[in-house]
Chain A
Amino acid sequence: MAENVALTGNDSAAYALRQINPDVVAAYPITPQTELMHKFAAYVADGEVDTELVRVESEHSAMSATVAASLSGARACTATSANGLALMWEILYIASSTRCPIVMPVVNRALSAPINIHCDHSDTMGARDSGWIQLYSENCQEAYDNAVQAVRIAEHPDVRLPVMVCLDGFILSHTLEGLEVNDDQDVKDFIGTLDRPDSLLNVDDPETFGMFTLQNYYFEFKKQQVDAMEKVPAVIEQVGQEYGELTGRSYGLLDPYRCEDADIILVGLGSTTGTAKQAADDLREEEGLKCGVLKLRTFRPFPAEQVCRVLSGADITGVLDRAVSFGLGGPLFHELRSARYGETAPMIDFIYGLGGRDLSLDNVKDIFRSLAEARDSGQTEPTTRFVGVRE
């Protein structure tokens, strides 16, 4: 039986991991991800999972051990944040290119320096080219649901790629929320069993993994990753639909909110899109502004076509970027603008919330109002704006 429980984002991801019952989990502490692994370690200590928990000495080793476990035919997971993800960087690429269907919750946090433990998306944005699928969660319910679905997406025979389940540090990871969790058996049935055709433990038919591959073959390996990524959107939609049939909560690549008739659309990732939805409701009611919100659940692969379709009717689009590419601007904005090449409707980038700086409901309303003003006046400069920062 599904049941309603109160869980933090970390606890909800740990709850999903318990139900997934991975064969191997590697754990290394980093705030704000730590409590996720505290919870999971308690499941291990109480014998609630069959998992071999490897308490590694660094995130680099966490990802290294997870990759090797996955290549050995085990369902393997780990979790991290910020600097921990940065330390894994080298092995993230090895995970995706050896086609390991690893599921990894990433509790988003700012990168040093200066050191900061709070939320922004600079960690996962830095890993956007690592060949991992990235799903972003608006709330604890989605963190849980995404983790369960990630197993199916990662292990799909057309895909066989690792998935980051991103959830905002503290804003979600440490916030208690009422959510519905599935029955253990339902999750077990939904994810099925891992079927990996090759394995490091297959001693009767030994294979060499991670070979030295030069100009004559390397490119083909990369092309296969490109091809696999192209198959991901359909799999995400199919899994999201099946999940909806099981739970009543369907998922796709995007979550458009009141976008059908919207003149002004704000695009974003993660928990801030919840605030933006409220702002859109308020402004529609209070000021007659036809606002909408487009939440990207999937950032990799980038759902360019689907996004363009949703934005096609809007007069102006704003983008909420919780990360910055120094010397360019917000990464989400630039990908979106590139996806919309040839469109004439203006776009403005709003970089916000770095290092956990709060973005209030009023801040988001101001963003919508400034978009309305830019539309009316035709003055869209500057196209990169910083919200809530002291000059």
Chain B
Amino acid sequence: MATTSLKKLSDMPELLTGGHAACPGCGGPIIIRQVLLAAQQDGRKVVASISTGCMEVSTTIYPDSAWRVPIFHSAFENSAATISGAEAAYRSLKRQGKYEGEIAFIAFGGDGGTYDIGFQSLSGALERGHNFTYVCYDNEAYMNTGIQRSGATPKGAWTTTAPDGTVEPGKREIKKDLTAIVAAHGVPYCAQASPHRPRDLMRKVQKAVATEGPCFLNILSPCPRGWRHDPDVTIQLCKLAADTCVWPLYEIENGKLSINYKPKEKKPVREWLKSQQRFRHLFAPKNEHLIEEIQAELDAKWGQLLAREAFDNEQEQESE
């Protein structure tokens, strides 16, 4: 049986080794290590693709690779199409008796490679029903190229292409709700997770790789450089994101939504905004109204999630 026991996991070999070039405090390698450890169990081996981005450039600098599973980096926008091809080859070779073994296909991508430039490739692969898991490490901007705004950047955040200035307050638009868009494809399993709850994250990975068909995990990945925070608070920030409901932890399994973490006391978004310098300008008097807007939008989203969960529970009870 696949395990998420930290004790047992600590005895398993690391599949993303140390010595890579990611920044101190980067959420990416923490996430990848958790994903790989959880996925490569029960005799199942991982084959991965990765889009161009921080994790690719920091872990695969020729001739050194941090990866102990086979991985292919092709380009920026095609991690999902790439895993489609590998998975199709596997199915074909297996059907013809030319290959043996159980493989979990995992496509990695950052938010730029997933929400934006790789969105079509992702949507196509989901619709075609390949048996794979897509893992988005969402650090909410194009960090690798220098902190440019992406479709995943939250409203109000400073980035290098949407900086705050005398007339601009940072990003004006809201963050794209990619998890909901993926769910609308009718995939059997999708979830949001965070590395501060490793057992929840790894349980979700195990569910995804054991599920036949396309699955999707959206994982919050703090970036000290881009979010402007100290490297030692990465995991605390993840917890704060869950406690403020900025990053709700939930899963949708065969259409049924379950929230996996409900803060006993929902913290105000101000605490989240205060924790990172990318939001500093929002506390200037001229921008304060934006904080109220952001709070209202978050409250509405959280309310929708709670209502959806209640509705799905009711539906389930009715059908039983």
Q: Give A residues with C-beta under 8 Å from B.
A: 23-24, 26, 50-52, 54-58, 60-61, 64-74, 76, 90-91, 94, 199-203, 206-214, 217
Asked whether, in the complex, the Cβ of A212 is within 8 Å of the Cβ of B62, the reply is yes
Residues in B neighbouring A50, C-beta threshold 8 A: 92, 95-96
Of B120-128, B213-221, B282-290, the one touching chain A: B120-128
Given A23-B92, A68-B89, A206-B71, 7 more A-B residue pairs with CB atoms under 8 Å apart are A23-B96, A52-B95, A58-B120, A68-B72, A208-B73, A211-B65, A217-B63
Residues in A neighbouring B111, C-beta threshold 8 A: none
Q: Using a CB-CB cutoff of 8 Å, which residues 142-193 of chain B contact chain A?
A: none
Alpha-carbon distance between A61 and B84 when the two chains are bound, in angstroms = 9
Minimum CB distance partner of B70 in chain A? A206
Alpha-carbon distance between A203 and B40 when the two chains are bound, in angstroms = 11
Asked whether, in the complex, the Cβ of A64 is within 8 Å of the Cβ of B47, the reply is no
Asked whether, in the complex, the Cβ of A68 is within 8 Å of the Cβ of B74, the reply is yes
Q: Measured between C-beta atoms, what is the minimum distance from B13 to chain A in Å?
A: 12
Asked whether, in the complex, the Cβ of A206 is within 8 Å of the Cβ of B72, the reply is no
Residues in A neighbouring B90, C-beta threshold 8 A: 72, 201
> Is B83 engaged at the interface, CB distance under 8 Å to the other chain?
yes
Asked whether, in the complex, the Cβ of A201 is within 8 Å of the Cβ of B121, the reply is no
Residues in A neighbouring B56, C-beta threshold 8 A: 212
Alpha-carbon distance between A58 and B57 when the two chains are bound, in angstroms = 26
Alpha-carbon distance between A62 and B90 when the two chains are bound, in angstroms = 17
Asked whether, in the complex, the Cβ of B89 is within 8 Å of the Cβ of A67, the reply is no
Asked whether, in the complex, the Cβ of A203 is within 8 Å of the Cβ of B74, the reply is no
Alpha-carbon distance between A216 and B216 when the two chains are bound, in angstroms = 37
Alpha-carbon distance between A94 and B127 when the two chains are bound, in angstroms = 25
**CB pairs A–B below 8 angstroms (29 shown):** A23-B89, A52-B89, A52-B91, A55-B128, A56-B84, A57-B120, A57-B124, A60-B77, A60-B78, A64-B78, A65-B88, A68-B49, A68-B82, A69-B92, A71-B72, A73-B93, A91-B74, A91-B75, A199-B70, A200-B72, A201-B103, A203-B101, A210-B60, A211-B61, A211-B62, A211-B65, A212-B56, A212-B73, A217-B63
Residues in B neighbouring A211, C-beta threshold 8 A: 60-63, 65, 73
Q: Measured between C-beta atoms, what is the minimum distance from A24 to chain B in Å?
A: 5
Q: Measured between C-beta atoms, what is the minimum distance from A194 to chain B in Å?
A: 10
Asked whether, in the complex, the Cβ of A201 is within 8 Å of the Cβ of B89, the reply is yes
Residues in A neighbouring B91, C-beta threshold 8 A: 52
Residues in A neighbouring B83, C-beta threshold 8 A: 68
Alpha-carbon distance between A172 and B88 when the two chains are bound, in angstroms = 31
Residues in B neighbouring A94, C-beta threshold 8 A: 74-75
Alpha-carbon distance between A212 and B120 when the two chains are bound, in angstroms = 24
Residues in A neighbouring B124, C-beta threshold 8 A: 56-58, 61
Residues in B neighbouring A52, C-beta threshold 8 A: 88-89, 91-92, 95
Asked whether, in the complex, the Cβ of A210 is within 8 Å of the Cβ of B73, the reply is yes
Asked whether, in the complex, the Cβ of B85 is within 8 Å of the Cβ of A203, the reply is no
Asked whether, in the complex, the Cβ of A74 is within 8 Å of the Cβ of B93, the reply is yes
> Is B67 engaged at the interface, CB distance under 8 Å to the other chain?
yes
Minimum CB distance partner of A54 in chain B? B88
Alpha-carbon distance between A230 and B77 when the two chains are bound, in angstroms = 32
Asked whether, in the complex, the Cβ of B71 is within 8 Å of the Cβ of A209, the reply is yes
A213: which of B47, B62, B69 is its contact (CB, 8 Å)? B62
With contacts A50-B92, A91-B74, A203-B103 known, is A212 near B60, CB below 8 A?
yes
B86: which of A60, A71, A217 is its contact (CB, 8 Å)? A71
With contacts A23-B92, A54-B88 known, is A64 near B81, CB below 8 A?
yes
A24: which of B75, B88, B127 is its contact (CB, 8 Å)? B88
Minimum CB distance partner of A206 in chain B? B70
Q: Measured between C-beta atoms, what is the minimum distance from B111 to chain A in Å?
A: 19
Closest 3 CB pairs of A and B: A57-B124, A68-B85, A65-B85
Minimum CB distance partner of A65 in chain B? B85
B92: which of A24, A210, A217 is its contact (CB, 8 Å)? A24
Alpha-carbon distance between A207 and B67 when the two chains are bound, in angstroms = 8
> Is B261 engaged at the interface, CB distance under 8 Å to the other chain?
no
Asked whether, in the complex, the Cβ of B74 is within 8 Å of the Cβ of A67, the reply is yes
Asked whether, in the complex, the Cβ of A202 is within 8 Å of the Cβ of B84, the reply is no
Q: Measured between C-beta atoms, what is the minimum distance from B1 to chain A in Å?
A: 21
Minimum CB distance partner of A93 in chain B? B75
Residues in B neighbouring A217, C-beta threshold 8 A: 62-63
Asked whether, in the complex, the Cβ of A206 is within 8 Å of the Cβ of B67, the reply is yes
Asked whether, in the complex, the Cβ of B67 is within 8 Å of the Cβ of A208, the reply is yes
Asked whether, in the complex, the Cβ of B75 is within 8 Å of the Cβ of A74, the reply is no
Q: Measured between C-beta atoms, what is the minimum distance from B47 to chain A in Å?
A: 6
Residues in B neighbouring A60, C-beta threshold 8 A: 77-78, 81, 121
Residues in A neighbouring B67, C-beta threshold 8 A: 206, 208
Asked whether, in the complex, the Cβ of B70 is within 8 Å of the Cβ of A201, the reply is yes
